[in-house]
Amino acid sequence: MVVLLTVFSYEWKTSILGDVVNVSKGEHPMQLFLSNKPSAFIETIVIGLLGSLLFHLLHAPLPWMLGPLTGVTIWHFSTGRTLYWPTPLRNIALLLIGYMLGSSFTQRTVHEITQHFPYIIAVTLSTVFGSLLLGLIIVKKTNIKLIDGLFGSVPGGLSQVAILSEETKEIDTGTIVFMQTIRVILVILLIPFLTMYFIKPEAPINSPATEVGKEAVAYPSLFGLLLLTMIGAFLGKKLKLPAAFLTGPLLIIALFSVTAVEVPALPPFFILISQYFLGIYLGLYLKKEMSSNIRRIGFYSIFTSILLVFFSFLLAILLTKITSINLATAFLSTAPGGLAEMGVTATIVDADLAMISGYQLFRIFFIMFIALPLLQWWIRRKVRLNQ
């Protein structure tokens, strides 16, 4: 385990996220036990387990992700105690989820995704423009800077948006992180409940989504491919892919799966561990230090995030009218949440993992490599013209 944690301690050298969520920044995993952090780490584990147990008893969706997320958030805000969760554990969770998503790809699903490409582009553009309009509402109602409202509203990866905002001195990074955090938490809490209790899954019995984690596991092949996903994560970081510990493994496992290499299913225990690790990490996004932003823009951040979820639901309904995918798959494809969280939700409603990954991946890459760089360019150009 120490070796595995050491591999995944490779992280961004400069990232505001490390300061925001009390996670490690490239530290050796053994440093956890040589510092004053072990008690906070153990406390975080216990609170996460209690949250999982409570959500399991309440028959809530995704108890191993939403339980820890809710538990550590409430515990931190109600007690003010400092909790700790190492970044390597988050990285392991993303790697396992990337493997799960990548293994859902086949030649058939890739063909279906290519047929959906015009719709993928349309949904992505609609989501980006819709989020920018909602950002304008926040700007108008709260008097924050225009660029802060736009940057904070675009549904990109929280850490990647934070890093880009740090590179642009005209942007208030604290405001950006708060707005993105509110959106992420709300989407992750709302989407599973809406999908589980208000949308009836209609996935085919033999769809890739229903097969993930259910067939016999070939452990030698599994562990060999898991080692390969580490290489995928490393290459993803070198290539500066967004969410590299997720997208790198996803792409490399999908490549093997599509080329007819047998990719064994991820055991259910591994999936639960990934949900638990990720849930705790997400729960540590919100900090008491953000209280000033909560008072200033909290209401409108929550309101516009809910509107964005509703807008994505309307897009999903439209998708079901013009394509053959079911509403659960369409909603998780258009949802402004993270690829990992939507992928995990898809496994419990028998939605099409590969199709959802196709929509979500394209949106992530479009936002990180086109939308946000364009916003950066526009800001800098505007500043130069005003000088």
283-328 pLDDT per residue, tens: 887 777 677 777 788 899 999 999 999 999 999 999 999 999 999 9
Burial class (CB in 10 A: 0-12, 13-18, 19+), 112: middle
Chain segment 353-381, per-residue pLDDT in tens: 999 999 998 998 898 888 988 888 888 78
Rounded to an integer, the average pLDDT of 217-239 is 84
- pLDDT level of residue 174 (50, 70, 90 thresholds): confident
Residue, of 100 and 4, whose pLDDT is higher? 100
What's the mean per-residue pLDDT of the chain? 82
pLDDT exceeds cutoff 70 at 226: yes
User: At CB < 8 A and 24+ separation, what contacts does 129-132 make?
Assistant: 130/308, 130/311, 131/155, 131/308, 131/336
pLDDT exceeds cutoff 80 at 202: no
pLDDT exceeds cutoff 60 at 17: no
Which DSSP category does 36 fall into?
A: S
Burial class (CB in 10 A: 0-12, 13-18, 19+), 129: exposed
Structural tokens at position 116: 């959906």
- pLDDT level of residue 2 (50, 70, 90 thresholds): very low
Burial class (CB in 10 A: 0-12, 13-18, 19+), 103: buried
Three-state secondary-structure class, residue 182: helix
Evaluate whether 123 touches 316 at the Cβ level (below 8 Å). no
User: 201: left (phi > 0), else alpha (psi -120 to 50), else beta?
Assistant: beta
CA distances from 199 to 332, 344, 350 (A): 11, 16, 12
Question: What integer pLDDT is reported at residue 27 of this predicted model?
Answer: 44
pLDDT exceeds cutoff 50 at 172: yes
Evaluate whether 156 touches 363 at the Cβ level (below 8 Å). no
Closest by CA to 99, choosing from 343, 322, 318, 385, is: 343
For the ranges 57-61, 167-171, 382-386, the one whose mean pLDDT is highest? 57-61
Evaluate whether 32 touches 24 at the Cβ level (below 8 Å). yes
How far apart, in whole angstroms, are the C-alpha atoms of residue 348 and residue 374? 37
Evaluate whether 150 touches 357 at the Cβ level (below 8 Å). no
Terminal-to-terminal C-alpha distance of the chain: 55
Question: What integer pLDDT is reported at residue 159 of this predicted model?
Answer: 65
Chain segment 31-48, per-residue pLDDT in tens: 443 345 789 999 999 999
Residue, of 6 and 283, whose pLDDT is higher? 283
* pTM (2 d.p.): 0.79
Rounded to an integer, the average pLDDT of 274-289 is 85
Rounded to an integer, the average pLDDT of 6-30 is 41
User: 72: left (phi > 0), else alpha (psi -120 to 50), else beta?
Assistant: alpha
- Percent of the chain predicted with pLDDT > 70: 82
How far apart, in whole angstroms, are the C-alpha atoms of residue 74 and residue 68? 10
Structural tokens at position 72: 């550590």
Structural tokens at position 384: 């130069």
Rounded to an integer, the average pLDDT of 217-245 is 84
pLDDT exceeds cutoff 50 at 260: yes
Question: What integer pLDDT is reported at residue 222 of this predicted model?
Answer: 79
Residue carrying structure tokens 């709302």: 190
Q: Which fold has domain 2-386?
A: Na+/H+ antiporter like fold (1.20.1530)
CA distances from 270 to 185, 215, 317 (A): 23, 14, 33
Question: What integer pLDDT is reported at residue 293 of this predicted model?
Answer: 73
Structural tokens at position 309: 């979820």
pLDDT exceeds cutoff 80 at 96: yes
- pLDDT level of residue 165 (50, 70, 90 thresholds): confident
pLDDT exceeds cutoff 50 at 347: yes
Question: What integer pLDDT is reported at residue 240 of this predicted model?
Answer: 83
pLDDT exceeds cutoff 80 at 11: no
Task: Give the start-to-end residue ranges of the domains of the chain.
Answer: 2-386
How far apart, in whole angstroms, are the C-alpha atoms of residue 133 and residue 246? 29
Which DSSP category does 368 fall into?
A: I
